[in-house]
Chains A and B, each alone.
Chain A
């Protein structure tokens, strides 16, 4: 595939003089004209093999999810696939007691991540960007949770939340029978308990992204604003934060996607039972649970897909438009 490259206008044929700062576009065209048949074949393989693998495992399955969402299938042979139209969706929206709570929890997950650990990560980044001593030590402490697997984080926080042996209950004396605060089991508490752990991790992630953004800011901007007599807060508000716009976009997209992907932590905690339902957990339960309802599971996946695409498409369009311009 992809060998079908159309030859373009002849002006591209002129090989730019050596050493001249030629536009990359033109140089690339110069390249192409020199390609032999064999080169074209190599190139086709180089792009083709990875593309086939990626498309087959990621995009074909995503499309298959959409198709299967309109069917019922017991998974045994293709013969048992039956077209049922919107039935799965109807059942999902109207009858499934877990669906709407799951949607709500995904939304809460996002709102909490964007309102608490994200600004806090930005705050830490601003403090650590001040050229202070031990900056790396602090950075490492905040960033460590990001390096550890979510599953492991789940285990670690269980030790904190455990009703009779956990840190919190032991400290506040709620670890005697009858006085338990069941952080993991109580449906009113467990989502918030998991979110503390998720925020713990997210803060470090956001801090690193913002630190990178801050490092990219021209120091003369700060100098100019200091000369104008702006104080620290004014400089941040009117100069630094507006220039962090590209980072903010990335942070927003990362946070939305992280909240849609949230899974490992909750699964290790309580398998998404009572109070911590998430869309990702509902999809997975349809696969590894006892009842394998493929069409139904796919319908939930499609909901997840649609929500993700609402975020992914505008983001990519903006990113690629910018790239094309440069």
Chain B
């Protein structure tokens, strides 16, 4: 954004140092530091051995700082296993959500069927509901759905498949809304010409529309990966075996065991946050644009 000429300092570095600007930086730097304080505190605790903190107290000058707690948390809690569980849920869920919701979006944005508005409303509203509104019947439904041989539990309950399905169903509301807005902004002539040339509807979707939606799809994929990775509630209720849990709910399950050692819990919690932080720092732009693209998300 070009700075208005009258606002002095708008040009950033070249503007003369103004006291107001300095004050603003001091304020922002202090606030930012305060904002990071809980995370830095967790990091500090995680880096210290339990023996030292219990002898000297938590607020004390550290004698030793090392990654032993991280190593122990990682090994003792079998974290690799839970990371894999999460991947087995998140990867199919993200791909399937994007696939299904882009088809709905294509349907409602490129044609003018009478049901379009209603259809989009159903999807969008569904995504805005609090999860607890639907959990009781869903839980029963998952328990009653027998899938012998398909899932390890023999039911939809306590299976990765069950979690994938609910993530897809729930999140596709948001994605359909965002993608349909996006597709509506594409020129109609594109698909029209192809249709006149005899291209099938599938081709219009797969070869013409989808490639144009790459930016929106990338933004949504980033957002969905972080949301689904961070999910706690669905896994808590719909998974009963500790073995099958994704990382966030597994940590909750395990933290009881480490009750006496907060340093270990701190390192475990920070370890679970690493993948989301990596995704965020690598794809920051996509993440933020996705969030504001469909700002109606609750």
Contact = CB atoms under 8 A, between A and B. Distances in A.
Contacts of A61: 134, 137-138, 141
Interface string A28-55: 1111101110110011001101110111
Interface of A: 2, 5-6, 15, 18-19, 22, 24-25, 27-32, 34-36, 38-39, 42-43, 46-47, 49-51, 53-62, 64-65, 68, 75, 124, 127-128, 130-134, 137-138, 140-145, 147-152, 155-160, 162, 165-167, 170-171, 175, 197, 200, 203-204, 208-209, 212, 215, 219, 222-223, 226-227, 247, 250, 253-254, 257-258, 260-261, 263-264, 267-268, 279-280, 283-284, 286-288, 294, 297-298, 301-302, 304-305, 308, 312-313, 315-316, 319-320, 323-324
A165 B262 contact: yes
Given A141-B33, A151-B248, 10 more contacts: A2-B115, A22-B188, A134-B25, A156-B269, A166-B58, A167-B59, A200-B38, A208-B288, A301-B134, A304-B133
A132 B103 contact: no
Given A141-B36, A212-B295, A46 B269 contact: no
B266 A65 contact: no
A47 B45 contact: no
B85 interface: no
A301 B133 contact: yes
Decide if the interface of chain A is mainly helix, strand, loop or mixed: helix
Contacts of A64: 137, 141
B205 A46 contact: yes
B175 to A, nearest CB: 10
A84 B196 CA distance: 60
Interface size class of B (residues with CB under 8 A): 35 or more
A284 B132 contact: yes
A31 B195 contact: yes
Interface of B: 1-7, 9-13, 21, 24-25, 27-29, 31-33, 35-36, 38-39, 41-42, 45, 53, 57-59, 100-101, 103-104, 106-108, 110-115, 117, 119-126, 128-141, 143, 165-166, 168-170, 172-173, 176, 181, 184, 188-189, 191-193, 195-196, 200-202, 205, 226, 229-233, 236-237, 248-249, 251-252, 255, 262, 265-266, 268-270, 272-273, 276-277, 280, 284, 287-288, 291-292, 295-298
